[in-house]
């Protein structure tokens, strides 16, 4: 593992922040949320009116609202992590080519959500914390790298797009999208 670490998601690395503007869809909904933060905070409640309010506000406002709502009864640490993993996977999907490329460009750097607002679950504050956000981002990056390598191996074996798409259980147009995100067209 490289000794390089990315500490905090500001400046050049602000795209790693949950506040980064990107379309995120929750299950069965047609209208997107404007960031991972908005979608994550909306998932904390089952109240459709509150979800709609969270959809329409800024990421900062969504975070504040999410800290002051009645949380759904099944909202536990496991669900928090599962939800964040799903949202990050959507953020860094081939529908967001530039974000995939930027995440991959972090190489093997350790991603650390260092902060000064006291988040020791998803981040690290004052040297303490679980850094779940950083760990999940590295997990998503690892998945993308593995998928890219599988595609490259198929291509090295002269496999057709149809064969590669079948392996992943996706359409050829989705495969093309992935190849574009991985710069292997």
pLDDT at residue 21 in the model: 98
Q: How far is CA 33 from CA 65, 67, 71, 173, in A?
A: 15, 18, 19, 25
pLDDT at 3 over 80: no
Residue 39's domain comprises 5-181
Query: 96 and 22 in contact (C-beta within 8 Å)?
Result: yes
CA dihedral 39, 64, 124, 25 (to 10 degrees): 0
Q: How far is CA 126 from CA 67, 119, 133, in A?
A: 21, 10, 16
Tens digit of pLDDT for each residue in 74-83?
999 999 999 9
Tens digit of pLDDT for each residue in 125-154?
999 999 999 999 999 999 999 999 999 999
Residue 1 pLDDT level (bands cut at 50, 70, 90): very low
Q: How many distinct structural domains can be found in the chain? A: 1
Question: Rounded to two decimals, what is the model's pTM?
Answer: 0.95
Tens digit of pLDDT for each residue in 82-111?
999 999 999 999 999 999 999 999 999 999
CATH, residue 96: 1.10.357.40
């Amino acid at each position: 593992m490289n000794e390089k670490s990315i500490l905090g998601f500001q400046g050049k690395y602000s795209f790693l922040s949950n506040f980064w503007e990107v379309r995120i869809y929750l299950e069965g909904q047609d209208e997107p949320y404007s960031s991972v933060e908005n979608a994550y905070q909306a998932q904390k409640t089952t109240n459709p009116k509150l979800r709609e309010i969270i959809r329409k506000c800024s990421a900062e406002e969504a975070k504040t609202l999410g800290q002051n709502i009645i949380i759904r009864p099944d909202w536990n640490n496991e669900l928090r992590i599962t939800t964040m993993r799903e949202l990050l996977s959507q953020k860094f999907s081939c529908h967001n080519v530039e974000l995939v490329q930027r995440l991959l460009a972090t190489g093997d750097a350790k991603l650390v959500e260092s902060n000064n607002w006291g988040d020791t679950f998803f981040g690290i504050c004052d040297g303490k914390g679980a850094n779940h956000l950083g760990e999940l981002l590295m997990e998503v990056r690892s998945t993308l790298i593995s998928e890219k390598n599988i595609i490259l191996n198929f291509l090295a074996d002269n496999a057709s797009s149809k064969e590669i798409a079948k392996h992943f259980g996706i359409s050829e147009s989705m495969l093309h999208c992935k190849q574009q995100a991985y710069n292997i067209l």
